[in-house]
A and B are shown apart, each in its own frame.
Chain A
Amino acid sequence: MIDLATIPDLLVEHLPEHLPRQRWSGAHDRTVSAVSVRWHEVVCEDDESSLVWAVVDVTLDGTEQQAYQLFVGLRPVSGGAEFLAGKDREIIAEVPCDDGGPVVLYDALVDPDLAIAVLHLAAPDVEVEVRRPIVLEHSNSSIVFDESSILKVFRKIEPGPNPDVEITRTLAANGYEHVLPPLAELRRDDTDLAVLREFLVGATEGWQLARTSVRDLLASRLPPEETGGDFAHDAERLGAILGDLHLAMAEAWGVVPGDAPRWAAEMEDHLRGLVSEGSLDVHPTRLDTSAVADRYHQLAELDDAGVELRIHGDLHLAQVIRADTGWFVLDFEGEPARRRSERFTTSSPLRDVAGMLRSFHYAAATGLAEWVEGEDDIDRELLELADAWDLRSRVHFLMGYLSADGVEALLPAETASRDRVLAAFELDKAVYEVGYELGYRPDHAVIPLAGIDRLLRAEQPS
């Protein structure tokens, strides 16, 4: 095997090519202009395989600074690395070796043995037999062990504790049962590098369940309450655990009076950002920005705004899973595009509610779009069914939310104020969606635009 002291030099040499190939890396398809190894550590070393753990600082496009965590595996090319077949992307380099054949450096998370060595860094006492990596992840990498626990390895390193780890630990310690607290953590210099959680075998994403229900609806051509796949009761239970979540977060981190003018100002910023990008102009559907702004002004004038507390911040159907023991809320990381310091989201709890309501609209609209794909005339009846599904899910979700004992104290006192705050957050979320869709999937922009249209047409709260 090679001298492991040469690893930093090898990384500096090869990472500029390796990192842009990785989906998880912010360097994807960008130029890595400099790499330096902040620290590295040999986890294990023998003739068959070795494992080196490192954090590297990277400069992207000559300006942006990022830090990445790497687990580098080393094996002789001649044996033991069969699992790398077809995984060229995970190979960092092949280097010659003085006292034997060449050695391959690769991402150790794909190595069946070394993945367990990584797990043992976080949880030395856990005994596992089988691991499987979760493929197709965007920002981090996860490995499931024995179908009972899942290790999430953070790739992009930000200093300080990870909010998801911290929040779920606190909530669970306070008795809230619908999050997955850490079973073990890998931490260094007060920075979270990996977290081990229970893996809920058989659990499904809320988004998948909602889409299954919408498919059943459109195929049945019956009102949603008469279909077997009716989503209302799942939505209601989901609402109830969100209500309890906000109560638990209020208890853990406290509340302050709601700052409606600030919320409105942030929303106006988002709206201005969308307009200034210019892409709205090319879209055939007109967005009535002044009507949206009007709603924000009305929000700013509201005295009865409820409270502000630490919230989930990016809640939608793909952030919740339905397990045999009920719904669970995942990923308390805030919006992934923002930096961590900005992600400690405090806002109205209705912002989370709005996120979920927008998600119901998306589930109905994308389900309908796929069902009628290729058809010239959209069947009016199907359109109405999809709307009815959306409405029914909203109503039951809100019923569930309001059924949480004590949640009313977090909300505006008057129903009309509640509606106004909720509508404004829904508009804000939809505006964000329009920008996202115009950037990535322009033909989907009609969905949030229709959502905005509906919100603006809704009865003006008096």
Chain B
Amino acid sequence: MASRIDPTDDRWYQRAVFYEVLVRGFYDSTNDGTGDLKGLAEKLDYIEWLGVDCIWLLPFYESPLRDGGYDISDFFTVLPAYGAIEDAKAVIDGAHSRGIRVIADMVMNHTSDQHPWFIESRKDATNPKADWYVWGDDDQRWSEARVIFVDTEPSNWTWDQERGQYYWHRFFHHQPDLNYDNPEVADAMLDVVRFWLDLGLDGFRLDAVPYLFERDGTNGENLPETHEYLRRVRKTVDAEYPGRVLLAEANQWPEDVVDYFGPEGDECHMCFHFPLMPRMYMAVRREQRHPITEILAQTPEIPDGAQWGIFLRNHDELTLEMVTDEERDYMYAEYASDPRMRRNIGISRRLFPLLDNNEDLARLFHALLFSMPGSPVLYYGDEIGMGDNIFLGDRDGVRTPMQWTPDRNGGFSTADFAQLYLPPLMDPVYGYSAINVEQQQRDQSSFLHWLRRLLQVRREHPVFGTGSFEVLHADNPSVLAYLRRDETDTVLCVHNLSRFPQPCELMLEQMAGLVPVELSGRVHFPPIGELPYFVTLAPHGFYWFSLQDAGEGQEEP
């Protein structure tokens, strides 16, 4: 059972497991073919049963939906198709009553071109919102800034006929960048933050944070002014809403991302660790640990109170955008030579198709995700092994409806099939008749039940969230073993990255005398002695052991 929320626990996010939910795709309570907030509220019991700690909602604000809702046209309104503010409030309150927190996406950098601020701003150069966006007379300024969506956008500047000037946009041309040099904008966005925190949200996942400011002679990324504004946001949140969390999306190399924690841990509480997942994938393809240990070795220390967000898959594509310099060469060389990896770059895949529907491998990936340093983020549907539909294009392939039952529309909606926002998966392998929550809840040996138990185990050992991480020496390169350790608890994690059974000798002399107790079945393994500790691992198998004093045995008196 999920515990009640402890309001004094300001660092809950360091131990939490997050669950990323697409409102549109979760559950349709109004039978109009689109998921909604009331539908999500109806499914909170399921999320509680699963045992996650925090829901992350993808954007649910008013929007023309030209970029999955990341093109917000009113920060204070819910998209009518999803419901109203009261429905958002009901989701938050319902989650809180079940011991679950809720954070939501927030786009700071830009708005939709349908936002009233922009409609007003583009009218002329003298209106009250004239300087709320970034306008210019020529489209050559800041040419050092790269075009991110090179496939669709020829430039970061787009000509506006109405105002007779160019406006600046780092993403799509229908998403003009807000002008943070204007104090009114900086204040207005803080009011947006306050509005949702007042409603009860436990924090934000801040979309595209590196681009808030523009400066001559720079590429417009990670500017000091941007960091300064984030510190202001953090200060406001800490002062007015203690215990709420800011999670930065900065798709860059860890040594650069780490700046978003702030030098004193005074910017974002959490940042995503992007390169970890591609490295995990590479490690099992290569059947050796180095791709993982290498990236962890390159990951800098983070400030006290900070935490990485780590994930297997999310709503975006597998990307190499974050790699830099020689790491870029390295990653491209590794990926480009492997057709199976190459095929998956730049397209959205869900976890199971990416792993060729290999459930053992999916279990190994979750064991790694749940035991490596960081707070895991699950993506809705991955807990039952949902597939994707790459023919839907863009990122919609991984945003198909949640599969609740084997019934019509996968139990997502009773609307007509043609009315659904996206067709549910119906293929024989991943379709809702084969893969759905109902069937996996009935089946005790299902992936869903296994994952739920793993979540319980993780919850029992806060050391997974905040303990030290120490890689152990192992001669066998296919084995990745490490200790998670704090003052009261030591957990030993041993993983086989190979599809063959593997032996492993672990150098645990420093733990001599302790007894490894396997965490899923509480079986006591032979005590650690002076010699290397020998374990054998099944293909893609893993063990998590709690190392306990020998006196803690369960013999009868």
Contact = CB atoms under 8 A, between A and B. Distances in A.
Contacts of A205: 475
Contact of B333 (A83, A233, A322): A233
B293 interface: yes
Interface string A76-110: 00000001000000000000000000000000000
Given A233-B330, A233-B337, 6 more contacts: A146-B510, A204-B290, A228-B284, A228-B340, A322-B477, A324-B296
Interface residues of A, number: 31
B293 A216 contact: no
B500 interface: yes
A209 B288 contact: yes
Contact of B287 (A147, A216, A225, A322): A216
Nearest to A322: B290
Given A147-B473, A230-B337, A212 B507 contact: no
B188 interface: no
B297 interface: yes
Given A147-B473, A201-B473, A215 B500 contact: yes
A227 B334 CA distance: 11
Contacts of B298: 324
Contacts of B476: 204, 208
Contacts of A324: 290, 293-294, 296-298
Interface in A112-154: 129-132, 135, 144, 146-147
A325 interface: yes
A147 B507 contact: yes
A219 interface: yes
Contact of B507 (A129, A144, A225, A228): A144
A232 interface: yes
A209 B530 contact: no
B326 to A, nearest CB: 11
Contacts of A233: 330, 333-334, 337
Given A130-B509, A212-B498, A322-B290, A202 B473 contact: yes
A226 B286 contact: no
Interface in B292-345: 293-294, 296-298, 330, 333-334, 337-341
B475 A208 contact: yes
A20 interface: no
A215 B337 CA distance: 18
A213 B290 CA distance: 13
A205 B473 CA distance: 12
Greatest chain B CB density within 10 A among A83, A202, A216, A324 is at: A202
A445 B478 CA distance: 29
B130 interface: no
Interface in B483-527: 498-500, 507, 509-510
Contacts of A146: 510
B289 interface: yes
Contacts of B341: 228
Contacts of B471: 201-202
B510 A130 contact: yes
A216 to B, nearest CB: 5
Contacts of A213: 286
A229 B288 CA distance: 8
Interface of B: 282, 284-290, 293-294, 296-298, 330, 333-334, 337-341, 471-478, 498-500, 507, 509-510, 530-532
A212 B477 contact: yes
A205 B477 CA distance: 8
A229 B500 contact: no
A233 B282 CA distance: 13
Interface in A312-341: 322, 324-325
Nearest to A132: B509
Contacts of A325: 297
Nearest to A131: B509
A388 B515 CA distance: 47
B366 to A, nearest CB: 20
Contact of A201 (B287, B288, B472, B532): B472
A212 B478 CA distance: 8
Contact of B285 (A132, A219, A229): A229
Nearest to A204: B477
A228 B285 contact: yes
B293 A202 contact: yes
Contacts of B285: 228-229
A322 B287 CA distance: 14
A320 B63 CA distance: 57
Interface of A: 83, 129-132, 135, 144, 146-147, 201-202, 204-205, 208-209, 212-213, 215-216, 219, 225-230, 232-233, 322, 324-325
Nearest to B478: A212
A226 B530 contact: no
A219 B294 CA distance: 26
A225 B473 contact: no
Nearest to B288: A212
9 cross-chain pairs, A with B, having the tightest CB-CB distances, nearest first: A228-B285, A324-B297, A204-B477, A130-B510, A132-B509, A324-B294, A202-B471, A201-B473, A324-B293
B337 A225 contact: yes
Contacts of A228: 282, 284-287, 338, 340-341
15 contacts: A130-B510, A144-B473, A147-B472, A147-B473, A204-B475, A205-B475, A209-B290, A212-B478, A226-B340, A228-B285, A228-B338, A230-B286, A233-B337, A322-B290, A324-B298
A232 B509 CA distance: 36
Contacts of A135: 531-532
B509 A208 contact: no
Nearest to B530: A83
Contacts of A144: 473, 507
B286 A208 contact: no
Contacts of A216: 286-287
Contacts of B289: 202
A131 B530 CA distance: 10
A212 B471 CA distance: 20
Contacts of A209: 288, 290, 477
A202 B504 CA distance: 13
A20 B478 CA distance: 37
Given A205-B475, A219-B500, A229 B287 contact: yes
A1 to B, nearest CB: 25
Nearest to A225: B337
Given A83-B530, A132-B507, A132-B509, A226 B477 contact: no
A227 B475 CA distance: 23
A148 to B, nearest CB: 11
Greatest chain B CB density within 10 A among A204, A215, A227 is at: A204
Nearest to A224: B337
A394 to B, nearest CB: 16
A227 B288 CA distance: 13
A349 B475 CA distance: 30
Nearest to A202: B471
Contact of B338 (A202, A215, A230): A230
A17 to B, nearest CB: 25
A229 B507 CA distance: 26
A256 B500 CA distance: 50
A180 to B, nearest CB: 15
Contacts of A204: 288, 290, 475-477
Given A209-B288, A212-B498, A226 B509 contact: no
A208 B288 CA distance: 10
B510 A129 contact: yes
Contacts of B478: 212
B298 to A, nearest CB: 8
Contacts of A201: 471-473
Contacts of B288: 204, 209, 212, 229
B75 to A, nearest CB: 44
A228 B285 CA distance: 4
A113 to B, nearest CB: 14
